[in-house]
Structure 1
Amino acid sequence: MKKTTTISINRRAILAAAGAATAALAAPRLLRAQTKEVVVGGAASHKSFIEQIVAPAVEKKLGCKVVFEGSRSLVNLEKMQKNKDKQYLSVVMMDDPVMIPAVAEGLLEKLTPEKVPNIKFLKPGTIHMDGMWCNYLQPWLGIAYNPKVMPTAPTSWAEIYDPKYKGRIILPSLQNTEGLANLFMAAHLATGKPMAEAQKDIDAAFKKLVTIKPNLLTAYTQMPQAYNLLEQGEGFMISSAISQVALDRKASGAPVNIAVPKEGIFSMPSGVALVKGAPQPELGAGFVDVMISVEVQSALAAKTNSLPTNKDAAIPAGMPTNATIHTVDWAFVAANREAWVKRWDRDMAL
């Protein structure tokens, strides 16, 4: 019969090994905890200017690490909803219409001059719902055109209705946020009401808008398709074009420019807000404060072909300086947009 061999294991050795393993697993977490981080949720397309301009300025001033999560406005809203009891985002950058349900659900923290001193220097109309969010940029909407087929720039939003442009006009669908400007301007052209009133007169807007159908080449939901048609000369104008996109195409050498009509331009929704119950609330407030500072605003505006929201920031060359900038009642839009899109699909079908 074989003798059973008993292996004696030193208890102290076991505990020492276990402790070492635990320490190894915990080390990255401890290291991360020692490095202050502020997590920011924004649009994936904003990654370049956040990493090149905003994050370095914030990290230098606050001594922290900026972690940027790029997705979409609605995705960031869902993240806040799902993590309401334990938020991990400190700052969100979202379209203004998406900020409204976030406010209604108690997901945002009010911006105040005590937390964000630079908010005092923002332009009128760029602070919303008594400080629940503010705009960090004003990309603007005008009329993009092909100067090869239109040597003279359009001077009025009314020009897109001129019969001489039959089959040459491109519009964004109302599914696209930039498409709303055409709806509101149609009401203004039809009624002569100030824009603040005209944008509420949706029946007048649609009655005017349907008269453009003979001039429509296409109504797009995918922007690259629209610019392909414009640059090839099939389309002459994109009414309600985003400054960032049109001027980027121009800079790349494409036959594209953007006009500032006499009736004014519209600002696109570019909001930033603090998440309620977020970690590192001081860093979140600091991020927003740096983002809307004169220095960062000047750099951002130049990088994105937009207007700054800090009134003391430099306006990039080629940007409109004396144009009327129409603001949009985003709460009204949020309450009615679904019905407008259905009416658009019905009334504007080609």
Structure 2
Amino acid sequence: MATLLTFGIDRRSLLAGLGLSAATGLGAPSVLRAQAREIVVGGAASHKPWVEQHVAPLFERKYNAKLTFEGTRSLVNLEKMQKNKDRPYLSVVQMDDPVMILAVREGLLEPITAAKASNLAKLKPGTVHMDGQWANYLQPWQGIAYNTNVIKTPPTSWAEAYDPKHKGRIIIPSLQNTEGLPNLFMASHLATGKPMAEATLDTESGFKKLISLKPNLLTVYNQMPQAFSLLEQGEAHMIVGALSSFALARKQDGAPLGLAAPKEGIFPVPSGIAVVKGGPNQDLAFAYVNELLGAEIQSKIAPPTFALPTNVDVPPPPGMPTGIAVHTIDWGFVAENRNAWVQRWDREMSM
């Protein structure tokens, strides 16, 4: 791939690409000649392969800078930012949206603007959060995973999990898991018929509906691999609220699985990116964010992650759902209420 230098990009064009102005005094030579400049990105351990294959080579060539990716869990990245708040060493974090809210509350993030990352203006509605504190660069999604040896026709509705023919054969995620939330919201929608935006606020109806699912439950999982093992063996018929990034990877590896996108719609899994406040080399940090929000990178990383792109110029990869509602989640509302929901879940949904 040709670099900026190959095309002879002038100083003004390069600054515009980085979201900087000539008045900053930070011109192209400081980006292109500073061989030792580096950013450290904290993200999920599972992201490391595609970052190193698709993102790091492009970024390092384009900006003549070093990219180091530290793979761990979102809460560990939050702890790193907390402990190093006075002298941060992370420049960018890729974390789950609920953890991003905690980071915002502690003043650990630097807002993203279109002036600093122009691709922000190219994102789908609902993927930029809290006035640009963070944005979503991908949308893995949740639907219904099913064993294709047992279920020959893909489920067309979330309501199918409640059918008595699946007694003792359904698996759902715990509400302690982030991926457990859509079942609560969808249960409210199924019970009341309210539009999803209203149904997500009516968790009382959601809990009452979920309780009626208990006779059909084989188990409620906290650990995803064990749940999929039961599904692949045929002990379970469906995992309701399954992640595309896991289910479709297992299908690709030959497991007898399908993943349905029911008619009521699907839920995006939060994949957020943010700039660490006061982190090193913020011009490069915003450049990295801009690349992940851009069409070139998203077109490369959406297929291997079995995710929907968030940039409007990137079509969904082959095999991804199209023409179906993608229900966003109000993570601020979740943060305010989740502890109470989990306590109620533990009381009423225990197996």
Deviation sequence 1:282-307 (CA, Å, 0-9, x none): 00000011111111101110110000
Structure-2 separation of matches of 1:237 and 1:54: 35
Structure-2 separation of matches of 1:175 and 1:106: 25
**2:115 is aligned with 1:114:** yes
Shift of 1:315: 1.5
Structure-1 separation of matches of 2:138 and 2:324: 16
**2:77 is aligned with 1:91:** no
Letter in 2 for 1:252: D
Runs of 4+ with >3 A deviation: none
Q: Please state whether the residue corresponding to 1:136 is helix, strand or coil.
A: strand
Shift of 1:202: 1.2
Alignment of 1:1-350 (within 5 A): 34-350=35-351
Structure-1 separation of matches of 2:162 and 2:152: 18
Shift of 1:104: 1.6
Q: Please state whether the residue corresponding to 1:77 is helix, strand or coil.
A: helix
Structure-1 separation of matches of 2:334 and 2:51: 28
Structure-2 separation of matches of 1:304 and 1:100: 24
What RMSD, in angstroms, separates the aligned Cα atoms of the two structures? 1.0
Structure-1 separation of matches of 2:294 and 2:183: 32
Q: Which runs of 5+ in 2 are unaligned?
A: 1-33
Shift of 1:276: 0.8
Tell me if structure 2 keeps the 8 A contact 1:111–1:274.
yes
Shift of 1:130: 1.0
Q: % of aligned pairs identical?
A: 64
Q: Please state whether the residue corresponding to 2:139 is helix, strand or coil.
A: coil
Structure-1 separation of matches of 2:50 and 2:193: 39
Structure-2 separation of matches of 1:56 and 1:259: 35
Q: Please state whether the residue corresponding to 1:326 is helix, strand or coil.
A: coil
Q: Please state whether the residue corresponding to 1:325 is helix, strand or coil.
A: coil
Q: Please state whether the residue corresponding to 1:203 is helix, strand or coil.
A: helix
Letter in 2 for 1:122: L
Shift of 1:337: 1.1
Shift of 1:334: 1.1
Tell me if structure 2 keeps the 8 A contact 1:141–1:265.
yes
Structure-1 separation of matches of 2:100 and 2:39: 20
Letter in 1 for 2:211: V
Structure-1 separation of matches of 2:170 and 2:139: 25
Q: Please state whether the residue corresponding to 2:213 is helix, strand or coil.
A: helix
Tell me if structure 2 keeps the 8 A contact 1:38–1:65.
yes
How many residues are matched? 318
Structure-2 separation of matches of 1:150 and 1:125: 34
TM-score (norm. length: structure 1): 0.89
Letter in 2 for 1:295: E
Q: Which runs of 5+ in 1 are unaligned?
A: 1-32
Tell me if structure 1 keeps the 8 A contact 2:35–2:64.
no
Deviation sequence 1:137-193 (CA, Å, 0-9, x none): 000000000111000110000000001110110111111111111010000111111
Structure-2 separation of matches of 1:60 and 1:75: 29
Tell me if structure 2 keeps the 8 A contact 1:57–1:290.
no
Shift of 1:314: 3.1
Q: Which entry has the higher C-alpha Rg, 1 or 2?
A: 1
Shift of 1:34: 5.0
Tell me if structure 1 keeps the 8 A contact 2:146–2:259.
yes
